Structure 1
């Protein structure tokens, strides 16, 4: 009997909590078109990437995974052949804050980006210019030509 009570309680509590959550339907219907997809490209090199990786033991299951992309994941910068650069891509989101094309996003989304592309909900794409970024607060402002 006690187990049945606990089971019933565990099913009812999430329903009560869900009923107390705000309904975002109206907000999304009204402002959803302001949300944009942001894609960036940047050139990076294997040495810079290897500096960001943790030191891994060869028995670590992730060692083999990283070795596929970096020949020696534990080898940092040093007397190596010239680093090979490669194109990296990042994705993020943002939202339009003005009719003249200013978009607010996160600084980590556009960090080191050489090219920023914004895709609107109607599938149109625009190249964007980074206006400014604050890494401490992780906020960035970009602009598209809304003409």
Structure 2
């Protein structure tokens, strides 16, 4: 069994929060609430990107069907969240994808395939390969 402090650390890395419901229920129930902090930051950064805002406007006016504005104002391309050209944001996504305890430090091909299901940006494949290579070299 994992100790409480270790669980808290794991939850913090995964951006999870433990919520204890009131004792008025028959028993105390713990629930995990996933904070969509990263998605919210990507959406905010999208609104600062002139290129993505042009695509958003085109999607509103009957432009290419691949781009779509979601209910939470996220711009998606074929269902994948569009990440603006923000090196720090991309690095955060790459670091999180590579460091999550469930990823088991995947290689660049697997990591790219996993990320490609949820995100898209120009040059993603090269960015993933560079990130994995830099982590691999740093750990050598």
Q: Same fold (TM over 0.5)?
A: no
Greater share of strand = 1
* TM-score after normalising by structure 1: 0.24
Greater share of helix = 2
* TM-score after normalising by structure 2: 0.25
Which structure would you say has the larger RCO, counting Cα contacts within 8 Å and 6 or more residues apart? 1
Higher-Rg member (1/2): 1
